[in-house]
Chain A
Amino acid sequence: GAVVSQHPSRVICKSGTSVKIECRSLDFQATTMFWYRQFPKKSLMLMATSNEGSKATYEQGVEKDKFLINHASLTLSTLTVTSAHPEDSSFYICSARDFNSYGDIQYFGAGTRLSVL
Chain B
Amino acid sequence: DAKTTQPTSMDCAEGRAANLPCNHSTISGNEYVYWYRQIHSQGPQYIIHGLKNNETNEMASLIITEDRKSSTLILPHATLRDTAVYYCIVRLLTSGTYKYIFGTGTRLKVLA
A: which residues have CB within 8 A of B? 1, 4, 6, 32, 34, 36, 43-46, 49, 51, 57, 91, 93, 95, 97, 103-111, 113
From the candidates B32, B49, B97, B103, name the one contacting A32 in the complex (CB within 8 A): B97
Interface pair A93/B44, CB less than 8 Å apart: yes
Complex Cα spacing A93 to B99, Å: 15
Which residues does chain A contribute within 8 Å of B100, judged by CB atoms? 34, 46, 95, 106
Interface pair A45/B41, CB less than 8 Å apart: no
Complex Cα spacing A105 to B34, Å: 9
Interface pair B41/A104, CB less than 8 Å apart: no
A106 CB to closest chain B CB, in angstroms? 6
> What is the number of residues of chain B that contact chain A, defined by CB distance less than 8 Å?
23
Residues from 46 to 64 in B contacting A, C-beta threshold 8 Å = 46, 49
Tally of A-B residue pairs with Cβ under 8 A?
56
Chain A residues touching B, majority SS: strand
**Given contact pairs A32-B97, A49-B97, A57-B97, A43 touches B102 in the complex (Cβ within 8 A):** yes
Interface pair A104/B98, CB less than 8 Å apart: yes
Which residues does chain B contribute within 8 Å of A49, judged by CB atoms? 97, 99
B28 CB to closest chain A CB, in angstroms? 16
B43 within 8 A of A: yes
B95 within 8 A of A: yes
**Given contact pairs A46-B99, A57-B95, A108 touches B104 in the complex (Cβ within 8 A):** no
4 nearest A-B pairs in the assembled complex, by CB-CB distance: A108-B43, A44-B102, A43-B102, A108-B44
B86 CB to closest chain A CB, in angstroms? 12
